[in-house]
Structure 1
Amino acid sequence: MLATDVGFVAYFTVTGLGLIPPEWAFAGYTDPVMVAWNWSFLWIDLAAGATGLTSLWLLRRAAASAAGTTLMLVSLVLTMASGLMAVAFWTLRGDFSLMWWIPNLYLLLFPLPAVVALVVRPPGRPAT
């Protein structure tokens, strides 16, 4: 989770500085509509990263922090939404580049086990 949340910030930093090599870029990377589409993820990705990093910080300070686990759930759901939005977009476009599908499928799927665990056994409820 830490790597993913830092990755959100790193991706938009690298993108903003124009450091992604053209051969690694997605189809239409310089098209103004595609640029706007890509930047439309900024707020959901930064919200996912900020809530995730804050949750990890809170949980390090207090192991049973309800605020930390709640923020973790928010972060994981935002991460899944971001991945789903990208995968849906690439599906609608019929663009199946593994270079962009793999990271977005990761964003969609990696949170699932933690989301299930947090929903099935909410913070403060003992394991049965």
Structure 2
Amino acid sequence: MLRATKALMLATDVGFVAYFTVTGLGLIPPEWAFAGYTDPVMVAWNWSFLWIDLAASATGLTSLWLLARSGVASPSSGAGVPLMLVSLVLTMASGLMAIAFWTLRGDFSLAWWIPNLYLMLFPLPAIVALVVAPRGRAATGG
């Protein structure tokens, strides 16, 4: 299971960096943007995710690098697995925060709900596996 998680983490962590790069350069077409995209409060809300998303990316990419370097994904292989857990929790929190916000606003655009539901849900199986499974087996799976 964690093999798939690693692939999803890599895509997500690179995606976070790409999203904020594209957003910062103003390359998102208005028809693709969320409701109120140019409203200064919404701009600030969107950019408020920069730090949690970059922290998720930094810990995720570092964990993947450490795990690849060690050749095994076990808790005894250093900081790779704990950093993976931190990254997954930050990613889940980012998605949850966005879904909560869109719910409170009553804005149900699938274009923004689907990516944020993905961010909220894909980490859950791996988080459970890393926290609940016996330490020697929790992070196996290459």
Structure 1 residues 40 and 126, CA, compared in 2 at 3 Å: closer, same or farther? closer
Aligned residues: 126
Corresponding residue to 2:86 among 51, 74, 82: 74
1:23 is aligned with what amino acid? E
Structure 2 residue 96 is the aligned partner of structure 1 residue 88 = no
Going from structure 1 to structure 2, the CA distance change for 1:66 and 1:15 (only over 3 Å counts) comes to same
1:46 matched to which residue of 2?
Answer: 54
Aligned position for 1:112: 124
Task: State the identity as a percent.
Answer: 87
Task: Report the Cα distance in structure 2 between the residues aligned to 1:68 and 1:53, rounded to whole angstroms.
Answer: 10
Structure 2 residue matching 1:70: 3-state secondary structure: helix
Instruction: Give the distance between the partners of 1:7 and 1:18, measured in 2 at CA.
Output: 16
- TM-score, with length taken from structure 1: 0.95
Bigger relative contact order (CA 8 A; separation at least 6): 2
Q: 1:122 and 1:48, CA in 2 relative to 1: closer, same or farther beyond 3 A? A: farther
Match of 1:15 among 8, 23, 26: 23
Distance in 2 separating the partners of 1:69 and 1:20: 34
TM-score for the superposition, normalised by structure 2 = 0.86
- Structure 1's 119 and 66: CA in aligned 2 closer, same or farther, altered over 3 A? farther
Alpha-carbon separation, structure 2, partners of 1:50 and 1:38: 19
Runs of 4+ in 1 over 4 A off after TM superposition: none
Query: Which residue of 2 is the match for residue 57 of structure 1?
Result: 65
In the aligned structure 2, how far is the partner of 1:122 from the partner of 1:29?
45
Pairs within 5 Å for 1:116-127? 116-121=128-133, 123=135, 125-126=136-137
Q: Which ranges of structure 1 fall in alignment gaps of 5 or more residues?
A: none
Q: Give the Cα–Cα distance (whole angstroms) in 2 for the partners of residues 20 and 12 of structure 1.
A: 10
